[in-house]
């Protein structure tokens, strides 16, 4: 018989009437990493599982064998993520302007437990549709950003149900300028008390920290510093239920500290620094030869002068940025035969040494240890 040491337990995470058994939010990693299998497994294990809305229409269309739009794709994926119970929601990037409002409406209509939104300030989020029981959770990287969001949301008669404070050690798009990423003042430890002050001033809602968190001890340390919960992406990327391709997961296993870099010139057409694995074939091509102008998917398109979604920086300036949509689809196992993959990960990727099931990872993060039975 295996005995489980359940002490000391982690506290639950309370958000908008929900009591999430563990204060662990699985990051919404796109494109195609955080889908229903991962979010559902995290939800069942006691955390808050998140799908990513990025590129969801294309992936769900391929899976169901017919073309679906962003609204229907989000509903299908959230309903699948929630089917086995627990708490599941969605990450919707502000930068994905074309599909942002449809994705928000679909998430609310599907009964998502939370909408987590960053890669820009989600200033209009509460005004899109009454959220009902769905928690609205912005992502920020500074107290100033949170204060701006709170003041704008107050005009819409809403306040955040929680906030994710994302530090510079996270993967994907970062909420800092490239020259701010390594500053001591931007560490989570320095930012957390300042963001807590803003949250308290605007109604006292939970603060969830993200970026660089790896172990049970890390979780307990940040809870001790005043965080209400943690969000983790890279550790869930390296799980059996993650929808990242096998090659992507192996690239994470090979990663060393020197392999983690912030791509900025060239970088993402979103205009935000973008943390990637150095060995990413698409990034290496962009760095050495430059990418040909490409915008076949159009997920980060902006409106042109006529109000149409046709403008993308990667179309016009391959020196500063390159098309990331194709590479991210390839990393998730889509169109890998026609496009080089692009691997994003947080700095903790250098510590990952094996692929776990979500159940194993959640037990580890919760501090549950298996021990031998006592002698008779």
- Which tokens in the block code for residue 334? 């889509």
Q: What confidence score (pLDDT) does residue 177 get?
A: 75
The answer on pLDDT for 288 being more than 70 is no
Residue range 162-172: mean pLDDT, rounded: 90
pLDDT above 90 covers a percentage of the chain that reads: 60
Residue range 28-51: mean pLDDT, rounded: 95
Write phi, then psi, for 276 (nearest 5 degrees).
Answer: -135, 170
Which CATH superfamily groups domain 3-245+351-371? Aldolase class I (3.20.20.70)
Q: What confidence score (pLDDT) does residue 53 get?
A: 93
Nearest to 15 by CA among 148, 186, 138: 138
Query: CB burial class (10 A; 0-12, 13-18, 19+) of residue 14?
Result: middle
pLDDT tier, 179 (very low <50, low <70, confident <90, very high otherwise) = confident
> Is 356 in contact with 252 (CB distance < 8 Å)?
no
Helices of type H across the chain: 36-44, 56-64, 70-82, 97-109, 125-128, 143-155, 188-201, 216-224, 234-237, 246-254, 281-288, 313-316, 325-331, 358-366
Between 176 and 92, the more confident residue is 92
Between 342 and 37, the more confident residue is 37
> Is 23 in contact with 68 (CB distance < 8 Å)?
no
> Is 125 in contact with 140 (CB distance < 8 Å)?
no
Between 326 and 226, the more confident residue is 226
pLDDT above 70 covers a percentage of the chain that reads: 88
pLDDT tier, 300 (very low <50, low <70, confident <90, very high otherwise) = low
Residue extents of the structural domains in the chain = 3-245+351-371, 247-348
SS3 string of 11-56?
CCEEECCEEECCCEEECCCCCCCCCHHHHHHHHHCCCEEEEECCCH
Residue range 353-369: mean pLDDT, rounded: 93
Among 71-80, 86-95, 219-228, 325-334, the least confident range: 325-334
Residue 183 CB contacts under 8 Å (≥ 6 apart), including other chains: none
> What is the Cα 61 distance to its own chain's centre?
22
Range from 38-47, 245-254, 302-311, 365-374 that averages highest in pLDDT: 38-47
Residue 153 CB contacts under 8 Å (≥ 6 apart), including other chains: 123, 125, 126, 159, 160
Is residue 180 helix, strand or coil? helix
Residue range 161-175: mean pLDDT, rounded: 87
Distance in angstroms (rounded) separating the CA atoms of residues 189 and 326:
35
Among 25-39, 53-67, 199-213, 302-316, the least confident range: 302-316
pLDDT, tens digit, for every residue of 110-151?
999 999 998 889 999 999 999 999 999 999 999 999 999 999
Distance in angstroms (rounded) separating the CA atoms of residues 27 and 346:
11
The answer on pLDDT for 301 being more than 70 is no
Q: What confidence score (pLDDT) does residue 45 get?
A: 96
Residue range 22-34: mean pLDDT, rounded: 93
Residue range 19-39: mean pLDDT, rounded: 94
Nearest to 87 by CA among 125, 46, 32: 46
The answer on pLDDT for 238 being more than 90 is yes
- Which tokens in the block code for residue 177? 């300028």
pLDDT tier, 279 (very low <50, low <70, confident <90, very high otherwise) = confident
* Average pLDDT across the chain, whole number: 87
């Amino acid at each position: 018989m295996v005995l489980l040491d359940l002490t000391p337990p982690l506290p639950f995470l309370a958000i908008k009437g929900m009591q999430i058994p563990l204060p662990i939010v699985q990051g919404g990693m796109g494109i195609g990493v955080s889908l229903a299998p991962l979010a559902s497994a995290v939800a069942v294990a006691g955390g808050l599982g998140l799908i990513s809305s990025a590129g969801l229409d294309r992936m769900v269309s391929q899976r169901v064998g017919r073309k679906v739009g962003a609204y229907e794709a989000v509903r299908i994926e959230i309903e699948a993520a929630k089917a086995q119970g627990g708490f599941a929601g969605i990450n919707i990037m502000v930068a994905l302007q074309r599909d942002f409002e449809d994705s928000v409406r679909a998430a609310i209509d599907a009964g998502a437990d939370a909408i987590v939104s960053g890669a820009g300030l989600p200033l209009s989020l509460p005004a899109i549709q009454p959220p009902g029981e769905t928690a609205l959770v912005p992502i920020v990287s500074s107290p100033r950003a949170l204060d701006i969001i709170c003041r704008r949301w107050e005009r819409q008669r809403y306040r955040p149900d929680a906030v994710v404070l994302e530090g510079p050690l996270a993967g994907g798009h970062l909420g800092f300028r490239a020259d701010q990423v390594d500053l001591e003042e931007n560490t989570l430890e320095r930012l957390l008390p300042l963001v807590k002050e803003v949250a308290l001033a605007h109604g006292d809602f939970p603060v969830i920290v993200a970026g660089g968190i790896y172990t049970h001890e890390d979780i307990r340390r940040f809870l001790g510093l005043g965080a209400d919960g943690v969000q983790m992406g890279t550790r869930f990327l390296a799980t059996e239920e993650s929808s990242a391709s096998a090659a992507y997961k192996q690239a994470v296993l090979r990663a060393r500290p020197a392999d983690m870099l912030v791509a900025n010139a060239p970088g993402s057409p979103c205009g935000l620094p973008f943390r990637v694995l150095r060995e990413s074939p698409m990034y290496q091509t962009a760095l050495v030869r430059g990418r040909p102008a490409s915008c076949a998917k159009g997920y980060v398109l902006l409106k042109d002068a006529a109000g149409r979604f046709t403008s993308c920086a990667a179309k016009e300036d391959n020196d500063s940025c390159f098309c990331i949509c194709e590479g991210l689809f390839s990393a998730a196992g889509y169109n890998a035969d026609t496009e080089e993959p692009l691997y994003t990960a947080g700095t903790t990727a250098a510590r990952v040494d094996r692929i776990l099931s979500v159940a194993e990872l959640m037990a580890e993060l919760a501090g549950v240890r298996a021990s031998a039975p006592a002698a008779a």
